Amino acid sequence: MLTYHFKSGGDPLYIQLYQDIKSDILSGSLAPGEALPGKRPFAKQLGVSVSTVENAYGQLMAEGYITSMPRRGFYVAEVKTLPQTPEAVPARHEPDPVLASLHTVLSQRHWFADFQSNQTDPASFPFTLWAKLTREVLNDDQVALMTNPPAGGTMALRTAIADHLRDFRGLVVAPEQIIVGAGTEYLYTLLIQLLGFDRIYAVESPGYRKILQVYQAHRLKTAKIALDHQGLRPDLLEDSGASIVHITPSHHFPTGITMPIARRYEMLGWANRSADRIIIEDDYDSEFRMTGRPLPPLAAIDMTGRVIYMNTFTKSLASTIRVSYMVLPPALTAAFYRKLRFYACTVSTFEQAALSRFIAEGHYEKHINRMRQTYRRRRDALMRAVADSPMAKIASISEENAGLHFVLTLKTKKRDADIVRDAAKRGIRVAPLEDAGAHRFLINYSSIPESVIPEAVRRLSEAVTA
């Protein structure tokens, strides 16, 4: 039976156990298919609580290191081979013309509840603290505020981001590798210039539409790669001829799929088969994992410099704070400053100074912890409201353990366009997932106050069942 020893005063016990088992799986000490001890006998042997073992197993399952078989127990997953028969997503559906005609009208209404919006709730932003930090910056950093930063951003902000990535995402990088910009869309335009216009850029399908629009606006050759239940399919990526791929492994948009460790290694294997291949990892809302700790990014297990890591503060702070950043591998960092250092950083020095203090003084970590609790309560309130509503018998919720949205699937003969229209009549904005099959709706709760959730779900249920 497995035996592990824990350090006092270190990480929580479940994290230590998770890391020990993960290390044994990656080293081969625990072979694929090998059974793990049951939670209760394992807890008794280790001298820890059952919840410690349960939480460790939960984190390992979330990351794809182990699997669970009902009434049989937990088993080590295969982390180096691609499943032989991937489960395909539903066939592509053409956009509903009725839905398209509704788009302009629906986007201009005032809503009782907007489940499509990804904006943040104004009540959640720390205005008082932000104002205090801004005053301090204006008093203390006047010379620095009037000094133009390098193309990558101020060193203070990049150092703060590097420290945060090391401490909370397990990603060790130099501040010089970090490039700050006003939104990910701007950073993508820099990447296109850095990586080249003569490449094929692959995107997830379904995926975040704006990424494809940015590539198409630059007249790039693109390839849409289908998903299965583990995320983007490497076999289809290989056949596409693409040398650059954009993925969201920690929480896919819009389906919410979390890419397990086996598929992540497959993606790295794809990148390493050719010297010109690059993976762009968008970690846009990784801070908000509702169970366990945030999953380690793909960039953290990249040993050959093939992954560009991207993240933004628009999800964690406010949708109107247009501050994003990317982490370039060392070779691409040198190429960036050789080719593109003439660009000025597009984020104001004032905003960078306030944000760097916010992170360095620990306020960002505290804010994330508060918001994680807030969003967990909203998610739970939504799930309870759906379960208690008349549509409960025809509704199911999936991919609810990470990010700020989940997928609501309805077993109904009612057309999606009619559901959207009837919901709009009741002041509820909702949208179906594009290219993901019928009767699947993205429920984004980042901007929905908890107090309106019961009434919002009641109105949505009326629209669904009417």
Task: Specify the pLDDT at position 84.
Answer: 39
Q: In whole angstroms, what is the distance from residue 94 CA to residue 318 CA? A: 33
Residues 19 and 40 in one domain: yes
Q: Is residue 371 part of a domain?
A: yes
Q: Is 194 left (phi over 0), alpha (psi -120 to 50) or beta?
A: alpha
Percent over 70 (pLDDT), the chain: 91
pLDDT digits (tens, 9 = 90+) for 251-282: 888 888 889 999 999 999 999 999 999 999 99
Residues 291 and 226 in one domain: yes
* Residue of higher predicted confidence among 81 and 125: 125
Residues 382 and 344 in one domain: no
Residue 331's domain is classified under what CATH number? Answer: 3.40.640.10
Contacts of 1 (CB under 8 A, 6+ apart): 37, 41, 42, 45
Residues 221 and 279 in one domain: yes
Q: Is residue 166 part of a domain?
A: yes
Residues 284 and 383 in one domain: no
Q: Is residue 88 part of a domain?
A: no
Q: Is residue 316 part of a domain?
A: yes
Please state the rounded mean pLDDT for residues 156-179: 95
Least confident of 90-99, 115-124, 268-277: 90-99
Q: Is residue 126 part of a domain?
A: no
Q: In whole angstroms, what is the distance from residue 310 CA to residue 36 CA? A: 35
Q: Is the pLDDT of residue 388 over 70?
A: yes
Residues 327 and 424 in one domain: no
Q: Is residue 379 part of a domain?
A: yes
Residues 266 and 151 in one domain: yes
Question: What pairs with residue 368 in β-bridges?
Answer: none
pLDDT digits (tens, 9 = 90+) for 455-466: 999 999 999 988
Residues 251 and 384 in one domain: no
**Strand, helix or coil for residue 266:** helix
Please state the rounded mean pLDDT for residues 161-185: 94
Please state the rounded mean pLDDT for residues 154-177: 94
Please state the rounded mean pLDDT for residues 198-218: 93
Q: How many CB atoms lie within 10 A of CB 348?
A: 13
Domain boundary among the residues 329, 360, 391 is at 360
Task: Specify the pLDDT at position 1.
Answer: 62
Confidence label for 435 from pLDDT (cuts 50, 70 and 90): low
Torsion sign over Cα 68, 72, 76, 78: negative
**Residue 316's domain spans which residues?**
147-360
Task: Specify the pLDDT at position 337.
Answer: 95
Q: Is the pLDDT of residue 172 over 90?
A: yes
Residues 185 and 330 in one domain: yes
Residues 304 and 194 in one domain: yes
Q: Is the pLDDT of residue 74 over 60?
A: yes
pLDDT digits (tens, 9 = 90+) for 314-362: 888 887 888 999 999 999 999 999 999 999 999 999 999 999 999 999 9
Confidence label for 11 from pLDDT (cuts 50, 70 and 90): confident
* Residue of higher predicted confidence among 313 and 97: 313
Q: Is residue 141 part of a domain?
A: no
Please state the rounded mean pLDDT for residues 77-90: 51
Residues 17 and 154 in one domain: no
Average pLDDT, the chain: 87
Domain boundary among the residues 360, 391, 425 is at 360
Task: Give the total number of structural domains in the chain.
Answer: 3
Q: Is residue 373 part of a domain?
A: yes
Q: In whole angstroms, what is the distance from residue 416 CA to residue 87 CA? A: 24
Residues 425 and 329 in one domain: no
Q: In whole angstroms, what is the distance from residue 289 CA to residue 208 CA? A: 19
Q: Is the pLDDT of residue 190 over 60?
A: yes
Residue 27's domain is classified under what CATH number? Answer: 1.10.10.10
**Is the N-terminal amide bond of 254 cis, ω within 30° of 0?**
yes
Domain boundary among the residues 325, 360, 395 is at 360
**Residue (of 265, 57, 255, 281) closest to 169 by Cα position:** 281
User: DSSP letters along 155-218, please?
Assistant: HHHHHHHHHHHHHHH-----GGGEEEESSHHHHHHHHHHHH-SSSEEEEEES--HHHHHHHHHT
